[in-house]
Structure 1
Amino acid sequence: MRLQGKTALITGASRNIGKATALAFAREGADLILNTRTQQDELDAVVAECRALGVRAHGLLADVANADQVFDMVDQGLGTFGKIDILVSNAAIRPHQSITDITVAEWHHVMDVNLNATFYLCKAVIPSMKQHQSGSIITLGGLASVSGRPNTAAVTASKTGLLGLTRALAAELGPDGIRVNMVVPGSMDTERRYPEWYPEHQETPAHAPEQLKGIPMRRQGTSEELAATCLFLASDEASYITGDRILCMGGRFLG
C-alpha cells in the first residue's frame, strides 16, 4: 500500500474530486481527516466508505475561508492522529461575474475560499510536517490557473495566485523534505450543483461534442482520474517532484 502509515487531510471531501481522492487514499492505507463546510450527511457517508476499507477516518465540518475554523480543524486532526503527512487543498468556488458587477465583498470571498484557505491550511499543517521532515501538499488549480476567460476575474486571480503560492512554498519547504505541487483539472464529469458557475454549459452541456472538440481525447475526465493523479503526488513515487503542476486535461492545451 502506497500510503500505509500516512495521514491525509482533504478539504471539499463530501463529493466529486474530494470524495474520489479520499477513497483512493483509503484504498492505499491512508488514515483520513475529511472536511466539508456544511454537508454533514454526505461527509458521514464518505467517512463510512473509507472506514469500510480498513482505515481510520474522521469527518470535520469547517469553513476553510475562516482561519480560526481551519486552525481548530487541524488541531483536532493532530490530536486524533498525531501528525498530518498529506494535505489536499481541494475546496473552491467558481462564480462567474463581470468585473463591473462583482462586489468588493464577493471578490474577497472568492480569494478567501480559493487562495487564502490554502495559506491557512499550510500554516496549520506545516509545523507537523517539518517536525517529521516529510510531507506532500497538493493544491487544485483549474482552467482559471492556465488561461483567462471572460467574467472570471476573481476566480482566475485566485487560482493564478494559488499557483504562485504552490511554487513559493515548494522552494521554501524543499529543505524540510516537504513537496508542494498543483493538479490542474480540465473538463471533468462531476456533479455541478451551481449551474450559474458554468454559464458556458447552459445551452450546450459540458459533455456535448461541441464542448469536447478542443480536447484531443474527446471526452471529459473523471473524478477517479484526478484522484489517481493526487495519489501519485502524495506517494513516494513522486519523491523528487515539487513546485510543479500536472495538467489533468486530456491534452486540452497541447496547441
Structure 2
Amino acid sequence: MKLANQVALIFGGSSGIGKATALRLAREGATVAVVASEKLARATAVADEIAAAGGKARGFVADVRDVQSIRSVVADVEAALGPIEIMVYSAGVYYPTILGELDEAKFDAMVDINFKGAFFAIDAVAGAMKTHGRGRIVTLASVAAFRGSSSYPLYAATKAAVMMLTKSLVGRLAPHGIHINAVAPGNTATPLNENDRLGAGSAEILAAKAAITPSGRTYSPPEEIAAAIHFLVSGEVRAMHGATLLIDEGLFAGM
C-alpha cells in the first residue's frame, strides 16, 4: 500500500468528502487522524469504522475558527501518531448569502471556516513538513470558484480565495519537497447538500442544478472526490504544484 506508515490529518473528516477521504486513505495504508469540528464522538465513529475494516485511525476535535485550536490538534496528532505527512483541509460550510439577508455572524463563520481555517491549518503543518523535507497538502475549492454563484456569492469567494492561496504558497513549500494542490468539486452527495439532493429543499433549485449538469449526474459521489485527493497525495505525479483539479460533472465546461 502506497501510503503505509504515513500519517494523514483530515480536517472535516467526520462527514462528507472528508469522511470519504479518511476511509480511502486508510484503505491505502495511511494512519488517519480524523478531525471533527465540534463533537469528538463523530470523529471517533469514523475512526472506529476504519478500524473495523482493518485500518488505523484516531478521532480528534478542533474548532477551525480558532487558530490555537488548530495548532493544538496538530500537536496532539503528532504526539499520538507521529509526523504528519499528509494534510487535507475539508472543513467547510455552505449556505446562501443573499445581499441584504445575511447577518455578520454567518458571514464571519463562512470566512473563518472555509478560508481562515485552511490558511492556519496549512501554517500549522508546514513547519514540520519543511523539517522532514516532504509533505502533501490538499485544500478543497469548488466549481463555484470558477463560475460564481448569485445565491452563494460568499461561498464562491471563499473557495476562490482557497484556490489562490493554494497557488500562492507553492513558492514557499515546493522547494522543501511539499506539494500543495486543490480539488474543486461540483455538487456532491454530502450532508451539506442533503436537503436539495433529496428533494426536501427547493424543487426549483434541484431542477435548475439538473438542467445545467452536462454529465447527467447532478450530484457526484464523495468517494470520487476522495479518489482524486488520493491521487494528489499518492506521490505518483511529482510535477503537480498549485494545481486545482476540477471535478464538477462538466458544470464549468457547460456554461
TM-score (norm 2): 0.91
- 1:240 is matched with 239
Counterparts of 2:234 and 2:104, CA distance in 1: 40
| Deviation (angstroms), 1:193 | 7.1
Equivalent AA in structure 2 for residue 175 of structure 1: P
RMSD of aligned alpha carbons: 2.3
Counterparts of 2:157 and 2:169, CA distance in 1: 18
Q: Which runs of 5+ in 1 are unaligned?
A: none
- 2:88 is matched with 88
Check the 8 A contact 2:181/2:243 in 1, yes or no.
Answer: yes
1:214/1:152 CA distance change after superposition, 3 Å: closer
Equivalent residue runs for 1:75-224 within 5 Å = 75-192=75-192, 195=195, 202-204=202-204, 206=206, 211-219=209-217, 220-224=219-223
Q: Which runs of 5+ in 2 are unaligned?
A: none
Check the 8 A contact 2:143/2:246 in 1, yes or no.
Answer: no
| Deviation (angstroms), 1:73 | 0.3
Counterparts of 1:42 and 1:124, CA distance in 2: 23
- 1:71 is matched with 71
- 2:38 is matched with 38
- 1:47 is matched with 47
| Deviation (angstroms), 1:45 | 1.7
Counterparts of 1:110 and 1:200, CA distance in 2: 23
Check the 8 A contact 1:171/1:243 in 2, yes or no.
Answer: no
Between stretches 168-177 and 41-50, larger displacement belongs to 41-50
| Deviation (angstroms), 1:214 | 2.3
Counterparts of 2:76 and 2:33, CA distance in 1: 9
Counterparts of 1:75 and 1:135, CA distance in 2: 16
Counterparts of 2:47 and 2:36, CA distance in 1: 12
User: Could you give the per-residue CA deviations for residues 35-58 of structure 1, whole angstroms, max 9, x where no partner exists?
Assistant: 112243332221012123433311
Check the 8 A contact 2:93/2:192 in 1, yes or no.
Answer: no
Equivalent AA in structure 1 for residue 224 of structure 2: E
- 2:12 is matched with 12
Counterparts of 1:199 and 1:148, CA distance in 2: 23
1:5/1:21 CA distance change after superposition, 3 Å: same
Classify the secondary structure of the residue corresponding to 1:108: helix
Q: How many residues align?
A: 253
Equivalent AA in structure 1 for residue 225 of structure 2: L
Check the 8 A contact 1:11/1:89 in 2, yes or no.
Answer: yes
Counterparts of 2:54 and 2:32, CA distance in 1: 11
- Runs of 4+ in structure 1 over 6 Å off: none
TM-score (norm 1): 0.91
Check the 8 A contact 2:147/2:252 in 1, yes or no.
Answer: no
| Deviation (angstroms), 1:3 | 0.8
Equivalent AA in structure 2 for residue 116 of structure 1: K
- 2:24 is matched with 24
| Deviation (angstroms), 1:205 | 6.5
Classify the secondary structure of the residue corresponding to 1:35: strand
Check the 8 A contact 1:142/1:185 in 2, yes or no.
Answer: yes
- 1:251 is matched with 250
Identity %: 32
Equivalent AA in structure 2 for residue 202 of structure 1: S
Counterparts of 2:195 and 2:54, CA distance in 1: 36
Counterparts of 1:32 and 1:150, CA distance in 2: 37
